[in-house]
Amino acid sequence: MRRSHYFLPTLKETPAEAEVVSHQLMLRAGMVRQASAGIYSWLPMGYTVLKKIEQIVREEQNEAGAQEVLMPTIQSADLWKQSGRYDDYGKEMLRIEDRHGREMLYGPTNEELITEIFRTSVRSYRDLPRMLYHIQWKFRDEVRPRFGVMRGREFLMKDNYSFDVDFDGAKAAYNKMFVAYLRTFARMGMKAIPMEAESGPIGGDMSHEFIVLADTGESEVFCDREFLDYDVLGSGVDYEDAGRVQDVVDHFTTLYARTDDKHDAAEFEGQVPEARRYHGRGIEVGHIFYFGTKYSEPLGAKVTTQDGGEMAVHMGSYGIGVSRMPAAIIEASHDEKGIIWPEAVAPFHVGLINLRAGDADCDAACEDAYAKLCGARVDTLYDDREERPGVKFAETDLIGLPWQLIVGPRGLKAGTVELKCRATGETEEVSLDSALARLTA
Ligand code: 5CA
């Protein structure tokens, strides 16, 4: 992408309404714009990041055996009356009336609708287990939408729902999601710690929140620092091997990690040596629940059993705050100059900076580099504008692309360009060919 063509409306000043650094940087880097309180438009760079996050979530869900569907954002109130949640949800639910006077709502979550789909489609225990998920916008009329996309009113969620014949089956599904979540967040360059949590309006009796540690997080958390050293991706996982999946879950659930509503100071101090105690704040990026037959009973989602009987299925639900992720990642990965994107979610891999656009040698070298990078399918943002170098450096640091390839007249005379790593700030002077070889490797 040529910067001169790219819609990247960056801001010089930090908007006064943005309280946390991720919100400030997302606005300054032109990723999102507020449409109304807690509701955002995603601009090209923000949307690219969102799609990359969504794709990692999708791949890990599929890998764990879940299948993707797409349910609508607008739901009928009837199902919610059957489950009993229509009244419970109160003002957080956006209620709508259609032209026929029918009560509708903008879905805050999808337990009811997926249970209805299951009820009308599956009859026998032989068709179980199943995991169905979608990645869809939700609406919750939060009392206090804040911190930009971190706590929005409209937000994108991945929500997965599992159906099993009994508790053991449901626990196996829960375990798979537990491990899939560890992998998903690790692939995004994040350490998300599973913590015992309350289940709130979703209900049920087993629940973990996945928390990214950050001072600006809304959750107060207590955990063992040992979590921070565990290499989830390095340890691979075969989801068919239930014992191995259980081992990973056991490793994480034996160490102390709880949100404040589940915290017990005496247990914390008894279980965790002082040097390993972490008490701080964190961002909830995912939440998983086992709630048994809470929805299948009232909505009549039953299957025939092996002995000819009938039973309500055991269910769980598993959410990831997809549109919260870019903010959570920025909270965990930035410096005073701007964002530092982990490679896997970066909007572009390389920022190619032409220090003197209009100079024949610089233009030729940059065009050559740009063509080669594009040819090798390396996502590149080529800053071809006639702007001062300082403006280009500041913007490229702000938008946080992992690599900067800096081409200027002085270097070219000596046969070199600069290759800068955004995360470490390290710069190397190398030939253009060797820089390209590194970036396309
Ligand atoms: N149905 C269940 C799981 S599928 C559910 O709705 N769970 S939840 O309420 O915990 O939400 C799942 C995830 O969505 C949360 O962990 C959080 O990361 C994200 N989320 C929740 N509310 C918001 C919000 N207002 N803005 C942005 N993300 C949110």
Which are the contacts of 276, defined by CB distance < 8 A and separation ≥ 6?
224, 225, 226
Q: Is 211 in the pocket of ligand 1 (CB under 6 A)?
A: no
Helix 325-332 crosses helix 21-28 at what angle (to 10 degrees)?
A: 110
What average pLDDT does the segment 73-101 reach? 96
Which helix (H) or strand (E) is 282 found in, with range? strand 277-292
Q: Strands 67-68, 130-139: parallel, antiparallel or unpaired by DSSP?
A: parallel
Residue 203 above 80 pLDDT? no
Task: Kindly state the tokens that stand for 176.
Answer: 């798979």
Q: Pocket of ligand 1, candidates 139, 157, 221, 284: which has the most ligand atoms within 8 Å of its Cβ, to mutate?
A: 157
- Which has the minimum average pLDDT: 108-117, 199-208, 242-251, 332-341? 199-208
- Ligand 1 center from residue 328 Cα (angstroms): 13
Task: Kindly state the tokens that stand for 308.
Answer: 């000819």
Q: Which ligand 1 atom minimizes the distance to the CA of 150?
A: 27
Q: Is 162 in the pocket of ligand 1 (CB under 6 A)?
A: no
pLDDT tens string 396-417:
999 999 999 999 999 999 999 9
Task: Kindly state the tokens that stand for 152.
Answer: 């929005």
- Ligand 1 center from residue 299 Cα (angstroms): 23
CA dist., res. 216 & res. 142, Å (int): 18
Q: Is 207 in the pocket of ligand 1 (CB under 6 A)?
A: no
Residue 316 above 70 pLDDT? yes
- Ligand 1 center from residue 156 Cα (angstroms): 9
Task: Kindly state the tokens that stand for 351.
Answer: 């920022």
- Which has the minimum average pLDDT: 50-54, 203-207, 310-314, 411-415? 203-207
CA dist., res. 72 & res. 134, Å (int): 10
What average pLDDT does the segment 93-97 reach? 97
pLDDT at 228: 79
Residue 232 above 80 pLDDT? no
Tokens 């610089």 found at: 362
Indicate which residue's Cα is closest to atom 24 of ligand 1.
Answer: 151
Which helix (H) or strand (E) is 32 found in, with range? strand 32-36
Task: Kindly state the tokens that stand for 168.
Answer: 């053991």
CA dist., res. 405 & res. 286, Å (int): 36
Would you call the peptide bond into 409 cis, given omega within 30 degrees of 0 as the criterion?
no
391, 393, 397, 399 alpha-carbon torsion, rounded to 10°: 50
pLDDT at 240: 92
Residue pair 312/293 in contact by the 8 Å Cβ criterion: yes
Q: Residue 353's beta-bridge partner residues?
A: 383, 406
- Ligand 1 center from residue 403 Cα (angstroms): 33
CA dist., res. 237 & res. 247, Å (int): 10
344, 347, 349, 355 alpha-carbon torsion, rounded to 10°: -160
Indicate which residue's Cα is closest to atom 3 of ligand 1.
Answer: 319
Q: Give SS3 for 214.
A: coil
Residue pair 398/339 in contact by the 8 Å Cβ criterion: yes
Residue pair 289/316 in contact by the 8 Å Cβ criterion: yes
pLDDT tens string 101-142:
999 999 999 999 999 999 999 999 999 999 999 999 999 999
pLDDT at 235: 67
Tokens 């599904």 found at: 173
Q: Is 152 in the pocket of ligand 1 (CB under 6 A)?
A: yes
Task: Provide the residue type at 348 as one letter.
Answer: F
Q: Residue 26's beta-bridge partner residues?
A: none
Residue 38 above 90 pLDDT? yes
What average pLDDT does the segment 210-221 reach? 91
Which helix (H) or strand (E) is 168 found in, with range? helix 167-187
Q: Is 159 in the pocket of ligand 1 (CB under 6 A)?
A: yes
